[in-house]
Each structure stands twice: as structure tokens, then as C-alpha cells.
A and B are shown apart, each in its own frame.
Chain A
């Protein structure tokens, strides 16, 4: 079963995303800030990271950059999940190595379409 790590400082959002993914039979782990996200990316070895941007200790762009610098995560897919809907942020995410970007709030269908598009069911 594919493994997904959800990194977001918004606990309500983490609960929502995790529940959707678990119901679709993914193995899910959560982290509530960027530093914890990086640590759990190493220990949990996910296939996909669902990553928030505006987190207080470490911005999602920095998490994305750090992971893309590390060859150990070459196969990791990164899905940015952010309340920011600006095109310039979407472009920046791509430039920093993110694979996909969805804007909050999203529906379960939108989330699952993005996830399945990246790592299949």
C-alpha cells in the first residue's frame, strides 16, 4: 500500500485530508510543522507528501527545497496543498520541485484526483 505523509499546521485540515486518504486505503502519517515533516519524511519513507505552504517554523517551499536537494527523496512525489491561489506561488512551487498544487478549500474528489494522478490507487 502506498504511503502518504500530510504536513500542515492546521489540525482541522490534517484531520480532513488524513481521513480522506485512509478511506482510500492509503497508509497515512501526519506532521504539524515543516521540521517535523522533514524528520518524518526520513523515518516514514512516504511515496507522496501533501504539503502546506504557510507554516510558522518552516515554510512549505523550504521543506520542498530541502527534500529535492536530498537524493534519497528522488522518487518522492510532492503535492502542495495551500490556501494561496496566486499563479506566482504555483509557478514557484513547480520551480522548487513540487509535482502538483491544489488550492484549499478543495473537495474530496479534487484531492483524490490529485493524489491518484501522482501515485495511483
Chain B
């Protein structure tokens, strides 16, 4: 049995941002794939799911698996119409998320492929697609235990924890640290502790780190975190590795290098053994 492997196919937040300044970290929106033997677990269907789909189809990978959507904002679903394995008969994908505001997850997800938005409807995709609404209780995706937590983001958004083969990975994006958003109080610190407990001891935490300190002052309440608070979460949760994720579309490769340097210095001062890096499109991490 092989070790689980986490692949980054889209690391960008908000909107795809191709161009000469984003060549190294990539411009595709959120998509991370966990591969473990025959298991394929995809987190989010941003535009990164398009190259992932071709890779799965061309590499003889299993044709079935799970897609976990954090929430249905565009940057987390907009790649699905171009997910090639969903067009192949005999394929079977289970697509999970929380119920949306005022409508079922399935209805909201399908709407982006309605006739006014896209030439192919979800129902015309040849693969079998099963939509499930998560309940908040842990569940199983094959041999993998999946737990969820609500994140602090406008609307309804969830983060996922995957436990398998004695290893664990947490995918927690589109999350604004509670205390920075609502101010320091016993209550906000308790909410942040609950998030840390959810991430506790993970081999890899993939986490929202969209803003620098200066940007956050202008974008407090937009539902995203500063890299500094994400690093502090990693320390508090005692994770082994931390992937800074959901890069701002305006963030250049050089900018990302700079804040990784800052994060390394921050963790060094905390005497934390965490290995921190900025998630890069095309990167793979073995747990």
C-alpha cells in the first residue's frame, strides 16, 4: 500500500490569473487531488480540475472517485464543465458539499451549467454523478474517513479533513481567522481553537493565506486570512507541513517567494518545526 500523495492542480483564489508573473505558482483556481492507491479524492473544482481531468484520463488512473467542494463560489466550481472524466461513460464520481443558502447543493452546482451559461448540462455528462449533501458528521469515502468544519466565509463554506493509512491532510480554504475578523475575545479565540483542533496533528494543512498584513487592513471581512494567521494556526494545531494556498490573483511569483520568506522567519522565531511552503501548481507532496 502506497503513501497518500497530495497534488496541487490549482492554487489561486478568486479568479484565474494566467500571465508572466504567475508562471511558477500557477494561475488556475483551487483544485487539489489526494491519491492513495486506487482512491482519487479531489478538493474543489476550480480551473485546475481541467488539467487534472486530462491527466487522470490519460494516465490510466481510476475512473471513479470523489469531489469535495468547499463552497460554490465560482473559483471552486468553474472548472467542472471542463472535467473530462465526467464525460466518459462508466465513470462514477461522488460530488460532496454542504447545502447552500436557500437551495440544495446539487441545484446550485448544476446551475452553472444551465443553458444560459454553458452548452452542456450536467445531466448530459456521460459519467454517473452522485451528489451528496454533507451533514456535519464524519463519513467515509471508501477507506478514507472524512470530517468537516464550517469555515468563516460569507455564505456557507466547509473545510475537509481526510484521515487514511495513519496519515491526515486538511483542506481548509476560504477561511478568515475569527479573531482578526471579529476582534479578540474569549469567544473568537474559542472559535479559532476549534479550527486548530480540527487540524490537530495533520501531516499536511492546505490553508487559505490570501493576504499580507497591509492587504488585510483593506479587505477585512472578505472571508480570507493573512499568511501570518495561517502560520499561527499551523503552530497552534501542531501540523507537520503547511501549504499556503488560495493565492491572491494579484500576487506575483516574486511576491509569493517574499511572503514564504517572511513565514519561514515567523516560524523560526516561534521555534516551530513546521515545514512551510507556498502551494505551487504541479507540485506533489507525499504524506
Contacts and interface: CB of A to CB of B under 8 A. Distances in A.
A54 B99 CA distance: 12
A83 B187 contact: yes
Interface string A40-62: 00000000000000111101011
A57 B191 contact: no
Nearest to A93: B101
B182 to A, nearest CB: 6
A92 B101 CA distance: 7
A82 B185 CA distance: 15
A54 B101 CA distance: 12
A9 to B, nearest CB: 9
A56 B156 contact: no
B182 A56 contact: no
Given A56-B136, A83-B178, A103-B182, A89 B155 contact: yes
A55 B187 contact: no
Nearest to B194: A10
Interface in A76-90: 83-89
Interface string B145-168: 000001011111000000000000
Interface string B182-216: 10011110110000000000000000000000000
A104 interface: yes
Interface centre among B136, B153, B223, by most chain A C-beta atoms within 10 angstroms, is B136
Chain B contact residues (Cβ within 8 angstroms of A): what range?
Answer: 20 to 34
User: In the complex, which range does the number of interface residues on chain A fall in?
Assistant: 20 to 34
B102 A96 contact: yes
A12 B191 CA distance: 12
Nearest to A54: B150
Nearest to B190: A12
A25 to B, nearest CB: 26
Contacts of B102: 61, 65, 92, 95-96
B221 interface: yes
Name, among B101, B155, B156, B181, the residue most crowded by chain A CB atoms within 10 Å (CB to CB). B101
A104 B101 CA distance: 20
Interface string B206-244: 000000000000000101000000000000000000000
B98 interface: yes
A85 B221 contact: yes
A94 to B, nearest CB: 12
A56 B134 CA distance: 9
Q: Which of A95, A96, A104 gathers most chain B CB within 10 Å?
A: A104
A89 B154 contact: yes
Interface of B: 98-99, 101-102, 135-137, 150, 152-156, 178, 181-182, 185-188, 190-191, 221, 223
Interface of A: 12, 54-57, 59, 61-62, 65, 83-89, 92, 95-96, 103-105
Given A83-B178, A83-B182, A85-B221, 18 more contacts: A12-B190, A55-B136, A57-B135, A57-B136, A59-B98, A59-B156, A61-B102, A65-B102, A83-B152, A85-B182, A86-B153, A86-B223, A88-B155, A92-B101, A95-B102, A103-B182, A105-B182, A105-B188
A-B complex: 6 closest residue pairs judged by Cβ atoms: A56-B136, A105-B187, A86-B154, A54-B150, A88-B154, A92-B101
10 contacts: A59-B98, A61-B101, A65-B102, A83-B188, A84-B152, A86-B155, A104-B187, A105-B182, A105-B187, A105-B188
